[in-house]
Structure formats: C-alpha cells, structure tokens
Structure 1
C-alpha cells in the first residue's frame, strides 16, 4: 500500500471539507449578527418556527415543495439523455419518449387537480 496512490483522494476530501466549512466559518466571523423582528418572523413555511409541534398548518407549502422536487429530479434525466442520445439509438429514443409522455401526463394531472394553484 503506497500512500502516494491515495494522495489525490485525500486531497479531494480535504478540498471538499474546506469548501464546505470555510464559507460557514467566514460567515460566522464576518457577517453581522443583529436579529430583529423581520428576521425572526415566519417565512416560506407560513407558521412560527418555535411553537407547539401539534398545531394545525397548511400543507400546501409542503405539497408545492414536493412537487417541485419531483419534477426537478425528472427534468434532470433529460441532460444525460441529450448527451448520449446518439449512442442510445432508437431504443433509447423510444424509452425517453415514453418517459416524456409519463412526465407530461403527471404534470397535466397535478395541474387539473389544482395542486399548483396558490390562493
């Protein structure tokens, strides 16, 4: 076992840790910490952050978030398919067309159900 063989892997891990930790440390050291009413108010989720865990809340926020993640992940499949479309041939093309049809049917279904309507 030669340590020089693992040097690129160790370097990659150290750079990854540095990229993840350095901005957090710099943000904590440099950024001003002045909480006020606007910063501590509820945002995006629609309810206070520190209240009773058994309170009623609107699930529309979570529904939209889940739908966004679902369709965002599905669209991520288009990029590798576009890059490798020539190597996949007709079989890959037909498989992707089936995927696109299922994608459009799912989008049409949630649109007709009103899951994307915001009141």
Structure 2
C-alpha cells in the first residue's frame, strides 16, 4: 500500500499534466482572423447580420398560440357535457366564450388585427 502523501502527489501531478496538455492543444492562432469572423465563407459582410424583426409575424404567432390554448380548453368542455351539471356547464362555457369575445373585440378596437401596416 502506498502512503497517502504519495497518492496525493500522483493525483496532483496527473491533473496538472492533463491541464497543461489541454492548454497546449487548444491554443488558437491569433493571425487566423477570417476563421474568427462570423462569416467563414471568406466574404466580408455587406450588411448587418441581424435583420429587423417583423411585428406582423409575431402577432400572427401570438394569435395562433391563443387559438391553440382556446382549443385545448374548449375540447374537454365539449366532452364533459354528458357527465356534468347542465346549468353549471352552460354557465362555465358562456363565461369562457364571453371572455374570448371581449378579448377579440379589444384586439380589434386597438387595431391589433390590422395586417396592412
């Protein structure tokens, strides 16, 4: 059995050796400027790489997201019609539909549904 001091020394030596080999292998060349640029094809960029974001696409995605959430809420309500209390079910669905209609009227009033900007 090796003494504890010798085991610790071996572990530290192996760790330092691995770190130094890793640093030597991973050195990047400073003069390789084209590879460090965002465009590696060799052309210099003529315009900004970031294009302006269209708010219309964002609004369409939000409308579809809201539509998907509505469908995921309405479908279980339809299937639960057979087993639920009828007046409570009608009240729940009516309140939900009123909230949806008020939301779309608010979007329409704020001209958020105008796609011809």
TM-score (norm 1): 0.49
Return 5+ residue gaps in structure 2 as ranges: 1-47
Task: Give the equivalent residue in structure 1 for 2:56.
Answer: 60
Counterpart CA distance in 1 for 2:63 and 2:97 is 16
User: Of 71, 75, 82, which residue of structure 2 is paired with 1:75?
Assistant: 71
Give the superposition deviation at 1:116: 1.7
- Stretches of 4+ moved more than 6 A in 1? none
Shift of 1:91: 1.7
1:112 aligns with 2:116: no
Residues 64, 116 of structure 1: 8 Å contact kept: no
CA distance in 2, matches of 1:91, 1:98: 11
1:31-110 alignment to 2 at 5 Å? 52-53=49-50, 55-89=51-85, 90-110=87-107
Segments of structure 1 that go 5 or more residues without pairing to the other structure are: 1-50
Q: Please tell me the root mean square deviation across aligned C-alpha atoms, in Å.
A: 1.8
More helix by share: 1
What's the offset of the Cα at 1:74?
A: 0.8
Contact 1:64 1:115 in 2 (8 A): no
Larger radius of gyration: 2
